[in-house]
Structure 1
Amino acid sequence: MGIRPALPGDEQAIARICVLTGDRGADASGMFGDDRAIADVYALPYLYGPGCFALVWDEGGSAVGYVVGTDDTRAFQDWFVADWWPSRPTREVQTEADRWLLPAALDPERMLTDLVDEYPAHLHIDLLPEAQGRGAGRALIEAAVEGLRERGVPGAHLVAAKANAGAQAFYPRVGFVPVSEDHSSVTFARRTSGG
């Protein structure tokens, strides 16, 4: 039981975890016309993109959680729009959730906030319910932050839905502070040194 780098064989497990936690921490199965769409936006590109990393929490042969991210949000966003998203299956809007996910994936400015200069890295972390509350999330975050520190990256940010009460409580406990918000989400940031 513990953290290891993601392997090519983990792609299906990572996609599954993303779907099972994709509705503000709850199961998003059936929300999208294609369940895999959410993983193609928020999880799987981090196995392949520039400056990316992927760590999994493994409890005996299968990933039950992950932290993925990139050390360079600008380079990642350019690659996502130019290379990754066009290589994914064509998807049509079929559900209410598709109405926000699919246009967002096409938006070349989606991740380019004012924060990327000060906090150039960004992360996504998801754990299945059976892996929550036992230190896995904290361990994954600390491993990701240490990896970014070793790369010389000054800080990381992430976004959580306001409706995701678990995430809103978790991120401050692992050193992330709220730095901005809108009607539906809060952006948290953390320096890679000084905890």
Structure 2
Amino acid sequence: MEIRTFTEDDRAELRELFARAGEGAPTESLWGHADSEAEIYLAPYIDHESESLFLALSEGRLVGYLTGCEDTSAFPGEDELLMRAVRKHRLLFRREPLAFFARSMADMAGAAVRRRPTAKTFDDSRWPAHLHINVAPEARGTGAADGLVNAWLDRLRATGSPGCHLQTLTENTRAVRFFRRMGFTEHGPSVLVPGIRQNGGKLHQQTMVWTP
């Protein structure tokens, strides 16, 4: 397994991997429109912090990636990126995205009535860095995920980062166990992620943190 940083020549293959790496997961596609989702969860990392984008290759083929950010406060906000994608791709005029956003609004309204928190961006100067990781189904269990996270944490140690956070799904117990093994610990409560469903059930976000 080869772990290295992104180069511009990887862009097309990485975009293809983005569309299939989450296969089988609840977040495989949030609203059924891969191009707009990539503009939020992939393209900004290529454009703004490509030196923190790590790739896993097996026999020369891209099988996983980790998008990292050393300072979340200096990175484009997810809400801002979402609004751009909604306007550019006219998502409110597409059936699947419109259904997702309507469900999200209903979930947030219900949570507000019950005075329960919902998922939001994490902002804490103790853990300013963050990451997202995706590994293709055929590469799970091969060490690709370990290699990607270790490369990212080594970079944070080298740059003197005070810490890193990530946000995963509480119901994805395999992911939670993996991140624990990599040195992350749960931080704060598990909260509702508006709009997302798995087998008809609501899902919840767990923030996890790592300190060098």
TM-score where L is the length of structure 2:
0.72
Distance verdict in 2 for CA 1:171–1:24, change over 3 Å: farther
Hey, what does 1:18 align to over in structure 2? 18
Pair 1:145 & 2:178 matched: no
Distance verdict in 2 for CA 1:120–1:175, change over 3 Å: same
Residue 51 (structure 1) shift: 8.2
Q: Is the contact made by 2:128 and 2:163 (CA closer than 8 Å) also made in structure 1? A: yes
Distance 1:13 1:98 in 2: 29
Distance verdict in 2 for CA 1:125–1:141, change over 3 Å: same
Amino acid corresponding to residue 11 of structure 2 in structure 1 = E
Amino acid corresponding to residue 191 of structure 2 in structure 1 = D
Q: Is the contact made by 1:57 and 1:65 (CA closer than 8 Å) also made in structure 2? A: yes
Distance 1:52 1:70 in 2: 9
Pair 1:186 & 2:206 matched: yes
State the percentage of identical aligned residues.
28
Hey, what does 2:42 align to over in structure 1? 43
Correspondence list, 1:135-174, <5 A: 135-174=143-182
Hey, what does 1:81 align to over in structure 2? 80
Residue 22 (structure 1) shift: 4.0
Residue 166 (structure 1) shift: 2.4
Residue 76 (structure 1) shift: 0.3
> Could you report, residue by residue, the CA deviation over 1:71-91 in whole angstroms, capped at 9, with x for unpaired residues?
010010359838x97488333
Distance 1:50 1:79 in 2: 15
Distance 2:137 2:26 in 1: 9
Hey, what does 2:54 align to over in structure 1? 55
> Could you report, residue by residue, the CA deviation over 1:35-65 in whole angstroms, capped at 9, with x for unpaired residues?
2222222222111125861010011233110
Distance 2:27 2:187 in 1: 27
3-state SS of the aligned residue for 1:187?
strand
Distance 2:205 2:78 in 1: 25
Residue 8 (structure 1) shift: 1.5
Distance 2:141 2:173 in 1: 14
RMSD: 3.0
Distance 1:169 1:126 in 2: 16
TM-score where L is the length of structure 1:
0.78
Larger Rg: 2
Distance 1:165 1:20 in 2: 21
Amino acid corresponding to residue 49 of structure 1 in structure 2 = H
Amino acid corresponding to residue 134 of structure 2 in structure 1 = D
Distance 2:132 2:142 in 1: 19
Gaps of 5+ in 2: 105-119, 193-203
Hey, what does 2:64 align to over in structure 1? 65
Distance verdict in 2 for CA 1:151–1:60, change over 3 Å: same
Distance 1:33 1:129 in 2: 19
Amino acid corresponding to residue 20 of structure 1 in structure 2 = R
